[in-house]
Structure formats: structure tokens, C-alpha cells
Structure 1
Amino acid sequence: MSSALTDLFPYPIVQAPMAGGVSVPALAAAVSEAGGLGFLAGGYKTADGMYQEIKQLRSLTSRPFGVNLFLPQPEYADQGAVEIYTHQLAGEAAWYETELGDPDSGRDDGYDAKLAVLLDNPVPVVSFHFGVPSRDVVDSLHRLGTFVLVTATTAEEALAVERSGADVVIAQGVEAGGHQGTHRDTPENDGAGIGLLSLVAQVRETVAIPIVAAGGIMRGGQIAAVLAAGASAAQLGTAFLATAESGANAVHKQALTNPLFTRTELTRAFSGRPARGLVNRFMREHGPYAPAAYPQLHHITAPLRKKAAASGDAQGMALWAGQGHRMARDLPAAQLVEVLAAELDAARTALSGQGDLR
């Protein structure tokens, strides 16, 4: 990682920007104060809502932090398939006594307005998901002194990130919880994800820019492994989801280590885009039939997910989680950063000792 960006946070630990109310200012502030890089999620918020959270975060810490944006999505969903899926969810709407959401509630997540906020009120770091920002956008952020990070799930996508002028590529392995950051989401991509260590190695041989590794990382030893593979830092989401400062629903936090939820899968059931979560009833019943239609399905299922969460029904919620979810620790965020840093040091010491023996 460039020395200037490294100087922003002492430990190579980045808290993933988890949308849906998880990555709140209190969490980002705690991580940044402890020596990692805290992140706010701009996704699913209004531009003003994002601005207010930035103001709140700045009142909690003077340390650097980041803000994440979703790229607008192109029109390629099969509208007939969306209508069929909507009819299939009629029983869910009746069960939860709510109406289904409007699939045409918006495709761009207020991207232009949110970008305008970040250009008028610069933050240290901005990351992008679901595509690559234009060179003009990257240059505009650079002129303000903002570092730009972009997610990639393949070496080819990483090359597109480098060509955009971005400072860092976030290599997201298939183990990651939540939405895969593929640049173009089509059904033929389903099941084609790459494991994190293999992805980091491929990206390292493809681009010259620094890499942040993301996907299933829960321990300091895993951070050491991705650093050894060529990454400059690690991004952790599920590990921070369980912390006290996380804005995740209590049912979601408890489900991470609940023996009832034994595995995760990638599913389109809740949003129309591949996202990894704990396998529950909703995913089993609807995942096989969900079309590639983001964000239409996200809007359609939003009222269902809200009612399920309000009633404490984990079987109807989108329980986003990475493959390492059973290793989640119920710790304050700052303490988790300290524990991860200590584990990283121990792993590095052990690796160094093995080198001496050889």
C-alpha cells in the first residue's frame, strides 16, 4: 500500500462498509480510534442521511475514515422474471402482513447526490462497490486529497480498477459475507467465485496498485496469510458485525454463532444479486427461483425483511455473513482491533521463527 495511505491507520485492518444500518458512526469511530480504518456505508441511505452520519462520525473521532458508495446498475433484468418472482412472494407478504415493495423505487441509489456530498465535504477515503467509477470521478476525488478504493472479484476486474486511476483494489474472495462486488452481474457468473488467497495471488500478478484482501477473515493469523500472499491490508466485515457498536439487529448478531445456522450460501433471494448469508427458510424456499434483478428484488423484499426483523424472525431476514461466521467474537470493536493486531503480531513472529529454522 502506498506509504501515504498506510500512514492513515497504524494496523492493516479495515472495517468493511456493511450497508443496511450495520456500519454506523459508532462502529467506524471505534475502529479508527483503535488504529484500524473505520468505514461508513453510503448504500441504501439518502444523500442527506449519509452526510449526517459523516458529521456524527467526525464528532466522535479525528482519525481518518472511509465512506462507501454503490455504483448505479445497468438495465438488464428480465422484467417478466421479476413479475413472476413477485407473485411467488405473495405468500410471504400475507404471512408478514405487509405489502411488497415497489421494484422501480430507484436504480442508482442516489449516486450523483452522494458523490456531490463527498466532493463538497471531502473525506479521507472513498470506496466503490458494484463497478468502477469513471476516471473523471476518480480524478475529482484525488484533487481533494481523497484516496479511492474499488472492489474487484477477478483479476480482470482488478485491471479495470487500476485503469480507472484508483489507488487501491479491494480483492473480494467468494468467502465474503454480503454482496459480491462483481462489476457486471449476470446469471452465468453464478458459482464462479474465486477463493481469497487464490484471488490475491492472481491480482498481485495482474496489477501494480496495492491490494486490500476481503473475504471470510476473522483472525489475525488470516490477516498474516493475506499479507504474505501480497495484500497490504485486510478488510473484515462479519468479524465486526458481532461487535457491540455494530448497528446489526440483535437477532442477526446472535445467528452468527447459533448452532441452528450451520452454513452460508450465495443467494439472489433477497436482492437479486449474489450475496452470502446464513442459510434460512427464506433462502431455501426462494433462492432457487430468484432472477438476476438488482436492485428490483432488494426493493420488493425490503418490507418483508423489515417485518421479519421487527418480529425477531431470523428465518425471514437477510442474515449476511461470511464463511467464517462461527468464529465471530462478542467484543467491543476497539478491543477486537487490539486482539486482531496481537494475533497478527504472533503469527508474523511464528512465521519469522520458521524462516530462521530453515
Structure 2
Amino acid sequence: MWNDNLVTQRLKIEYPIIQAGMAGGITTPDLVAAVSNSGGLGTLGAGYMSSDEVAVNIQKIKQLTSNSFGVNVFIPEYPEVKKEEIEEANKLLEPFRKELQIRTKNIPEQSESLFEKQMEVILEQRVPVCSFTFGISSKELIQDLKKENITVIGTATTVEEAMINEEIGVDLIVVQGSEAGGHRGTFSVPFENAMIGTMALIPQAADHIHTPIIAAGGIMDGRGVLASQVLGAQGVQMGTAFVTCLESGAKKQHKEAILNTSEEKAVMTSAFSGKPARGIDNQFIQAMKGHEDKLLAYPAQNTLTNDIRKEAAKQNRPEWMSMWSGQAPRLSKNKSARDIMSEIVSQVDHMIKEKSFC
């Protein structure tokens, strides 16, 4: 059976479908629990959360489901940012702040203890699954997680990154194609070198590692699930497919943009965060073109534009918001997570029964 494999067994779920741990408020406890209660793995995107926020959200999820769920965290990055670089970046952003009537922003000192505090909460709460993005964890931390019976998932965007994840001992590896929305997990090569599509990446990774693979990037329905398994993956991770669902915490403008756009509008940009990410093209992205050399490195640029993005949403200015999306927005639906899960499963079952994938 398509849903009886190492991914479902290790994650203790009915279907090998993971809702991606998208940071920034999209993955509400209601969304995470709805996916888990529907047989998949709901995931809390804790990348930007304080340790207290992580703890509160985990408790809410536990109140809503007794099934397995995960928490995704970011491997921290600490780039050196000079005062004059911040001043140059702020000059670019000043017209937007003036229009929105908000003050110029300085970057607070980045807490080097955030990641450690997040991990303390995950270990204390004995979250069933922990996934990492933007790099690899230490072998010692992975061992600590496994001692608490926490399943560990790594993220890779090249075969080499998949091999690195396997070497440090993760249980499962998300292999993420370039079709993915938002930030991809590239960490070992320049992002341009890792722009490899899901169809090309999955079979190559499957041929070079033994750890079970979870495919990601452009997968939106049962066709993508079954195709991923044919290519060598044992499960899928889906992000954009759940951004527009009813339980999603994405802003109304973000959902509407995805539901009403087309594939060529999902472009790569570093304008909002300083790290390449795929989102719906808009005025802010276009205005930043040609000024890439003045953008701060991630996460400094992300912090610097945060107030602009939030205020733009409040003032209904989607042209200045970051609206992440993968390359298959036409397949998005504004339904409950339960209905989306049910349709995916039914579609896979139907294709297998009718052999319509042959």
C-alpha cells in the first residue's frame, strides 16, 4: 500500500503527507492539529518564535490532537552586518516607511541563545517530531532528541546535502526541489547551484542515500504524491497547498494572491529577507531589483523589513507584502485542511485503483 512505509511507520501517521512547518504565523495550532487529525503530520513553523511562544503553541496543539505532530526550527545564521550597511538598506526602504507612516528601524542584537532555548522546549515537551531547515544540527543534539524518542527530519536541496544529513544521523530527509515556495533549505552551495527541480532531484537522491526521502517542491495534490513515490520518495511535504486553507494563519491578501495568480508570477527574490525565496511578484520586489548589493544578509534584512510587511498588511497594501508561494498556485484551494487531506488521499487511491498513472 502507498501509505504503509518507513515514513508513516517512523512518524506514526496514517498517510505519508507532511504539512510544511512554514514560519511567520501560517501554521496555527488549528492547522497543525487538523492535518494530524486527518492522518498526516501537522508541523508548527517555529523558526521566528521565542521559546515561550513555542511552548504555548505546543500546548495548544496537544489540546487539539493526540496524534503525532512536528515542530520545525531554523539552524541559526549570524552574519556580520556593519552600521553603514544598515544605513544603506534603510535608505532603500525609506519611501515605503514614509508612505506607511512608520519610523526608520534599527536592527536589534540577534540572540545567539534563541535556537538553544527553542530546543530546550522541544526536548522538555517531548514533541514527537523535530525538523531542521537552513543547515544541519550537531550529532550531539540529534542524539539528545533521539533519547527522548523524538524523530528527527533534515532538509536538503542537493544530493550532497542529503548525504550530509544522512551522515549526521537524521531519521528522514526532506529533499526540496526548486519549485518550492518561500525559503528553501540550501546550506552547502550558492542558491543558484541548488535550483534543481523536484523531478530531477528526487531520483538522484534516492540512488545515493539509504535514509527515507520526503519529496517537497511544487507538490499540491494526489498526482504529486504518487509521482514522488514513483521517483523514489516515501512521502511528501506540502506547504503552499495548506497556505490557502481555512485554518491557515496567512493574511487574507496572501491567500487571495495565491488563489488568483499563475505559475509565472511565483518568482525568486531576496528583497524581503536577504535570502532567496519564492513568492508572488509585486511592486516591492520590482522596486528592489537592481539594488541587491545593498540588501542585508539574512536574517538582518528580514528583521529590517518586518515592520513594513506587517503594516502593509494592516493597511491592505499587498503590493508591499511578502506572499510566499510555490510554482503551482493554480492548484491551491480555499478549503479546510481536512478536506484537502481527504481529496489528496482519495485521488491517490483512485489513480492506483484505476491504474491511471501508468
For Structure 1 versus Structure 2, the TM-score category normalised by the shorter chain is over 0.9
Retained in 1: the 8 A contact 2:186–2:194? no
Task: Report the CA distance shift for 1:261/1:312 in structure 2 as closer, same or farther (over 3 A).
Answer: farther
Once structures 1 and 2 are overlaid, which stretch shifts more, 286-295 or 160-169? 286-295
**Secondary structure of the structure 1 residue equivalent to 2:32:** helix
Q: CA deviation at 1:190?
A: 3.1
Q: CA deviation at 1:351?
A: 3.8
Amino acid corresponding to residue 245 of structure 1 in structure 2: E
Matched, 1:2 2:1: no
Once structures 1 and 2 are overlaid, which stretch shifts more, 260-269 or 226-235? 260-269
Selected match of 1:46 from 46, 50, 61: 50
Retained in 2: the 8 A contact 1:103–1:295? no
Amino acid corresponding to residue 112 of structure 1 in structure 2: E
Once structures 1 and 2 are overlaid, which stretch shifts more, 30-39 or 81-90? 81-90
Selected match of 1:198 from 189, 196, 200: 200
Show the counterpart of 1:246.
248
State the distance in 2 between where 1:268 and 1:353 align: 38
Matched, 1:217 2:219: yes
State the distance in 2 between where 1:261 and 1:311 align: 27
Selected match of 2:39 from 35, 38, 62: 35
Q: Describe how 1:68-79 pairs up with structure 2 within 5 A.
A: 68-75=72-79
State the distance in 1 between where 2:354 and 2:106 align: 54
Q: Percent identity?
A: 35
Retained in 2: the 8 A contact 1:101–1:299? no
Q: CA deviation at 1:327?
A: 1.3
Retained in 2: the 8 A contact 1:19–1:44? yes
Q: Describe how 1:56-67 pairs up with structure 2 within 5 A.
A: 56-67=60-71
State the distance in 1 between where 2:181 and 2:157 align: 13
Q: Describe how 1:60-139 pairs up with structure 2 within 5 A.
A: 60-75=64-79, 81-106=85-110, 108=112, 110-139=114-143
Matched, 1:340 2:340: no
> Which whole-Å deviations, capped at 9, do the CAs of 1:228-267 have from their partners, x for residues lacking one?
1011111111110111100111111111122489511111
Q: CA deviation at 1:87?
A: 1.4
Q: CA deviation at 1:206?
A: 1.7
> Which whole-Å deviations, capped at 9, do the CAs of 1:3-56 have from their partners, x for residues lacking one?
674461111111011111000100000000011110101111110011000000
State the distance in 2 between where 1:136 and 1:346 align: 44
State the distance in 2 between where 1:345 and 1:245 align: 25
Matched, 1:152 2:161: no
Show the counterpart of 2:232.
230
Show the counterpart of 2:260.
258
Selected match of 1:270 from 260, 269, 272: 272
Once structures 1 and 2 are overlaid, which stretch shifts more, 92-101 or 224-233? 92-101
Matched, 1:166 2:166: no
State the distance in 2 between where 1:164 and 1:287 align: 38
Moved over 6 A (4+): none
Amino acid corresponding to residue 101 of structure 2 in structure 1: E
State the distance in 2 between where 1:318 and 1:352 align: 38
State the distance in 2 between where 1:235 and 1:257 align: 20
TM-score, normalised with respect to structure 1: 0.93
Q: CA deviation at 1:180?
A: 1.2
**Matched positions, count:** 352
Q: Describe how 1:267-306 pairs up with structure 2 within 5 A.
A: 267-290=269-292, 291=295, 293-306=297-310
Q: CA RMSD in A?
A: 2.0
State the distance in 2 between where 1:170 and 1:36 align: 15
Show the counterpart of 1:178.
182
**Secondary structure of the structure 2 residue equivalent to 1:308:** helix
For structure 1, the residue ranges without an aligned partner over 5 or more in a row are none
Task: Report the CA distance shift for 1:249/1:352 in structure 2 as closer, same or farther (over 3 A).
Answer: closer
Retained in 2: the 8 A contact 1:69–1:127? yes
Amino acid corresponding to residue 111 of structure 1 in structure 2: F
State the distance in 2 between where 1:228 and 1:292 align: 41
Q: CA deviation at 1:101?
A: 3.4
Amino acid corresponding to residue 275 of structure 2 in structure 1: R
State the distance in 2 between where 1:261 and 1:195 align: 14
State the distance in 2 between where 1:96 and 1:271 align: 19
> Which whole-Å deviations, capped at 9, do the CAs of 1:274-310 have from their partners, x for residues lacking one?
1100000001111442346000000000000000011
For structure 2, the residue ranges without an aligned partner over 5 or more in a row are none
Amino acid corresponding to residue 334 of structure 1 in structure 2: R
Amino acid corresponding to residue 337 of structure 1 in structure 2: M
State the distance in 2 between where 1:77 and 1:178 align: 23
Q: CA deviation at 1:80?
A: 5.2
Q: CA deviation at 1:118?
A: 1.0
Retained in 1: the 8 A contact 2:7–2:212? no
Retained in 2: the 8 A contact 1:173–1:214? yes
Q: CA deviation at 1:78?
A: 7.2
Q: CA deviation at 1:81?
A: 4.7
